[in-house]
Amino acid sequence: MVPVSMKQAGRAALLVVLTSLSPLAARGEVAIRPAQCTVQGMLDDVRQAMKHGSPALKRYVKMRLKEAALAMSAESLLAAWQGERDPEVLEALGAALATKASNTGAPGLIQPLLARAVGDADPALRAAAVRGLRGVPSVEFMEKNGGVVTYEQLVRDASPEVRAAVAENLVAESADVYSGHDRGVSEAAVSVAAASEDPAVAAKLLREVSMEAVGHEAVEQVTRQLRSENPELRAAAATALGGVPGGEAAGARGSLVDLYRDDKDPAVRKAALQGIARLGQSQAASVLESLRGVDRSMDAEIDAWLNVLKLNLQEWELVLREKQRLRR
Amino acid sequence: MKTMKLTLAAAVLAATGWGTTVTAATAVGPICDAAARVGSTTYYSCSGSSHNALDISNGTCSVWNHRGMINVSRHYAYYGGCANNCSGGTSCNGGAGNYYVVSGGSGWDFRQLHLNSNGSSRSQTCDRCALGLVGSTGNSTGAHVHADNRQYGTRKTAWYTSVGTTCGTNANCSNRLGTPTL
């Protein structure tokens, strides 16, 4: 048997010979060299790709880091995390740590992300730390870390970039991790919207997070947002009420009818009609009919909903698509 | 052009409150062992009666982890209560044995069946985590992982046929076996 060291020496010698014979070497160009797979080496690749790479390369290096992190030691990743100051690299590293936490059932691994999300002086780095939590069960992880840092706290950040990252995380978590079915994430989104002083962020949360599993208290929180001074937020709350569970439908429908009658903003009224249509689907026709004439300019919108509901489509996605085909 | 239209349509629907669009996920092998192989696909052993799912085994029972197959964080709902078994042949949980369900949108789900339970077996949200042990609970004829992708209870096959998975395909956890809809 040939000793391992001799084998390695042989391979190295062969590599030298092949390199010297290669056309690249003959032309004086840099030959491809085998790279050592370390955290720092991979982070350098991420750094280079973020500066000069195509979108596909950027996705690739981030994905590669995330996959490699599953096999790397947590200590090496955490050491790199502490010293990193580039927001894009920090986000990629955070995503790798969060994925490792999700894979190993170790929510404590995200504590450095939470600490940075609240404590870093640079708002770009705080936002990057928040974005690093996207696509993992971050609401559950925050609870398991003692609730010391929550999205309700992060959404009050002075930086709009951090607040936007909070909304994007919750929207993505509800849709991508739970397909909209998780009560905890949906109710967290409602609470964060209530805690937010940024109406655009609150509106995004209510408009885009699924409400299919929320409880009564969350429905009441959403209903209170119908009295917001901001029309975008009122419209988003109306959209959210359209998606509440069946047991909450009667109360929500009443709130939306009142909203349609009292609110003068066309976008809010349009959202109220959509909410009513979604809550009742085929049974919504009589309610919509009763609202004809409240605002003549909206009667065409009511007609469009009535025409769609007559089709008896079985899924809300199909109903909404057909409505948008008839009238945006 | 068609792709651009579809992308725009999805963006419009998302912006107007369609938060549960279905997507193509990626499913990898459930056993981190190079010996893991696909044994059945659309037909049992690829030549028997209808099956419309993947059966994956590495020839062991209650030794290797049965891992979540979706390669991002997803919620795995656990349905247990069956005694661990290496030969199967019971009707526990309707023949599914101990099993997990990942629920998607529009009636889609992804299931992993027949595992033997251990301390990891509970409902959880995770990325390719250990869910239990490769076992043979329920209507099963030997330890394996049964994986299927259904819409409103009907098993679909395109998720694995579209990527060429067939009997003998290596089902190590680093290999993609399919793209289930969720």
Two structure tokens written together for A296 = 């003549």
Q: Distance (Å, rounded) from C-alpha B16 to C-alpha B23?
A: 18
Q: Quickly tell me which residue has 């991790």 as its tokens.
A: A177
Contact predicate A177/A137, CB 8 Å:
yes
State the Cα–Cα distance between residues B11 and A236, nearest whole angstrom: 16
Tell me, what's the pLDDT at B20?
Answer: 60
- Asked if residue B78 is part of any domain, the answer here is yes
Confidence band for B32, pLDDT divided at 50, 70 and 90: very high
pLDDT at B3 > cutoff 80:
no
Closest C-alpha to B158, from B148, B167, B170: B148
Question: Which residues 6+ apart lie within 8 Å of A165 measured at CB?
Answer: A127, A130, A131, A134
Return d(Cα A198, Cα A203) in angstroms, integer: 9
When the pLDDT of each residue in chain A is averaged and rounded to a whole number, the result is 91
Q: Does the CB of B154 have a partner CB in chain A at under 8 Å?
A: no
Put simply, whether A315 touches B (Cβ < 8 Å) is yes
C-alpha span between A9 and A6 (Å, rounded): 5
Average pLDDT of the segment spanning A178-201: 98
- Residues of chain A with Cβ-Cβ distance to B20 below 8 Å are 175, 179-180, 210, 212, 317
Q: Across the strands, what pairs with B70?
A: B27
Measure the CA angle with vertex A12, ends A7 and A14; round to 5°: 95
Spatial contact of A242 and A256, defined as CB atoms under 8 Å apart: yes
A104 and B72 within 8 Å at the Cβ level: the answer is: no
Q: Is residue B143 part of a domain?
A: yes
Looking at the domain assignment, is residue B38 inside a domain? Answer: yes
Q: List CB contacts (< 8 A) between A190 and chain B.
A: none
Q: What is the mean pLDDT of residues B114-124?
A: 98
Of the candidates B19, B20, B125, the beta carbon closest to that of A137 is on B125
A210 touches chain B (CB under 8 A): yes
Backbone phi and psi for residue B93, each to the nearest 5 degrees, phi listed first:
55, 45
For A38-70, the pLDDT digits (tens) are 899 999 999 999 999 999 999 999 999 999 999
The mean pLDDT of A80-94, rounded to a whole number, is 97
Of the candidate ranges A232-241, A272-281, B41-50, B55-64, the one whose mean pLDDT is the lowest: A272-281
**In the block, residue with structure tokens 């390695």:** A8
Helix (H, G, I), strand (E, B) or coil at A106: coil
Least trusted range by pLDDT, from A24-38, A151-165, A314-328, B22-36? A24-38
Nearest CA in chain B to A175: B20
**What confidence tens digit (pLDDT) does each residue in B90-107 have?**
999 999 999 999 999 999
pLDDT > 90 fraction of chain B, expressed in percent and rounded:
88
Domain range for B136 is 29-173
Q: Is the minimum CB–CB distance between B182 and chain A shorter than 8 Å? A: yes
**A99 pLDDT above the threshold of 70:** yes
Candidate from A174, A177, A324 with C-beta closest to B73: A177
Predicted-complex ipTM score: 0.90
Alpha-carbon gap: B165 to the closest alpha carbon of chain A (Å): 22
CATH of residue B53: 2.70.70.10
- B19 in contact with A at a CB cutoff of 8 Å? yes
- Model confidence over A113-165: pLDDT tens digits? 999 999 999 999 999 999 999 999 999 999 999 999 999 999 999 999 999 99
> Tell me, what's the pLDDT at A37?
77
Q: Residue A19: pLDDT above 70?
A: no
Question: In this complex, is the C-beta atom of B12 within 8 Å of any C-beta atom belonging to chain A?
Answer: yes
**Is some CB atom of chain B closer than 8 A to the CB atom of A140?**
yes
- What confidence score (pLDDT) does residue B64 get? 98
List, for residues A233-280, the tens digit of each pLDDT value. 999 999 999 999 999 999 999 999 999 999 999 999 999 999 999 998
Q: Which of residues 78-137 of B touch A (CB under 8 A)?
A: 103-106, 120, 124-129
Measured CA to CA, the distance from residue A138 to residue A162 in angstroms comes to 15
CB B134 within 8 A of CB B61: yes
Q: Averaged over A18-37, what is the pLDDT?
A: 54
Distance, C-alpha B142 to centroid of its chain: 17
B128 chain-A contacts, CB cut-off 8 A? 70, 103
Residue B21 belongs to a domain: no
pLDDT at A5: 46
B73 contacts in chain A (CB < 8 Å)? 99, 102, 135-137, 177
Count of domains observed in chain B: 1
3-state helix, strand, coil in chain B (%, to 5): 15, 35, 50
CB A308 within 8 A of CB A319: yes
Residue (of B111, B150, B156, B159) closest to B131 by Cα position:
B111
Residue A24 has pLDDT above 90, yes or no: no
* % of chain A surpassing 90 pLDDT: 85
Closest CB from B9, B19, B129 relative to A174: B19
pTM, two decimals, is 0.89
Kindly provide the b/e burial profile for residues A80-94, where b requires at least 16 CB atoms within 10 angstroms of the residue's own CB.
bbeebebbbbbbbbb
